[in-house]
Amino acid sequence: MLSDIVQALQAPGRKVILLHGNADPDALGSAYAIQRAFPDVVIAALGGLDRVSKVIAAKLNIEVRDEIEPEEFDLVAAVDTSSKRQLGMVVDQVAVVIDHHAPSGDWNGPLHYIDESRRSCAEIIHQLLQEAGYSIDRSTGLALAAGMLTDSGHFRFSNPALLNSMAAIMQEAEIGMDEIFDLTDLEPDISERVSQLKGAQRLRFERIGDHIAAVSTGSAHESATCRAILSAGADMVFVGSQRDERFRISARARQEMVRKGFHLGKLLDDVGEETYNSGGGHAGAAGLTGVGDVEAVLNMCLSRSLDFLREVRDSARSSGGAE
């Protein structure tokens, strides 16, 4: 399948690589590597870049468009995106998809390569470049490595495949780990710190046995607030923000919950489908965006999380364990 995607990207004509809303370094690095390896490629983030991605784009001189006309391009592709709605607009012209999230069913039609076992989309792009015979230069290596580093939680959630790919990129591009960290590590600014404190003020949680599910609301920095609440003691957390009729939710879960079978990506995909919105992601990190009342959607997420925790508790009791 990767060889077919290589042929599609090598074909003559203008190409655009679309990123999901609030695009992270994995999405940006994946698109940039494709731009470097294949001819006449434009990058577009219709829903904007996150704070770290903006810094990476500035440091590596990556041009990212915030609006396009899909009809202007001969090939429309998407990376690191599990559904059409995450692109900021419904794009029926998408012909190529490369992703590592739980499949949502949106990409059954286009030429696609989806490998949920990969911790980052950048790993798949590394395979793609190898298939194309592209020698990774310094800036491409930094962009891909930044995606791998951030999507693996700075290696906390890495596996042998990611570490092997990271080592190969560092060797070929001749880059050091300190350079990658310098590219991605930012001190939290005052707005991020305030968002975390407000998230703590608005926190609601429920306990089932020895586990805690939490929800909160804010106006920005949902992912950072999730991480702060996890650090405070929650096992799974959903943080939402409301902007007029639209909302955005970020979610995180401890790996202990993932090992027990909890999957945030599937949960938010189900909630998104039920509410006619778009959700998805990984087992331990996911998101949901759309139109509606964020408090109502957060309550749905909390209710389903509590159902899972009850199953964990009841299973432990039936097996004679303590939970």
According to CATH, the topology of domain 2-184 is: inorganic pyrophosphatase (n-terminal core) (3.90.1640)
Domain 192-318 in the same topology as domain 2-184: no
Q: What is the pLDDT of residue 302?
A: 97
Q: How far apart are CA 80 and CA 10, in angstroms?
A: 20
pTM: 0.79
Pick from 131, 126, 134: nearest CA to 169: 126
For 15-104, strand residue ranges (E) read 15-18, 41-44, 75-79, 94-99
pLDDT at 321: 55
Q: What is the pLDDT along the chain (323 residues), one digit of tens a residue?
A: 889 999 999 999 999 999 988 899 999 999 999 999 999 999 999 888 988 999 999 999 999 999 888 889 999 999 998 887 778 766 778 889 999 987 877 788 889 999 989 999 999 999 999 999 999 999 999 999 999 999 998 998 899 999 999 999 999 999 999 999 999 987 777 888 898 999 999 999 999 999 999 999 987 889 889 989 999 999 999 999 999 999 999 999 998 999 999 999 899 999 998 998 888 888 888 889 889 999 999 999 999 999 999 999 988 888 775 54
* Residue boundaries of the structural domains of the chain: 2-184, 192-318
pLDDT, position 192: 84
CA distances from 301 to 34, 220, 236, 237 (A): 36, 19, 10, 9
Residues 6+ apart with CB under 8 A from 1: 111, 112, 113
CATH 3.40.1280.10 correct for 192-318: no
Sign of the CA dihedral with 107 first, then 110, 114, and 120 last: negative
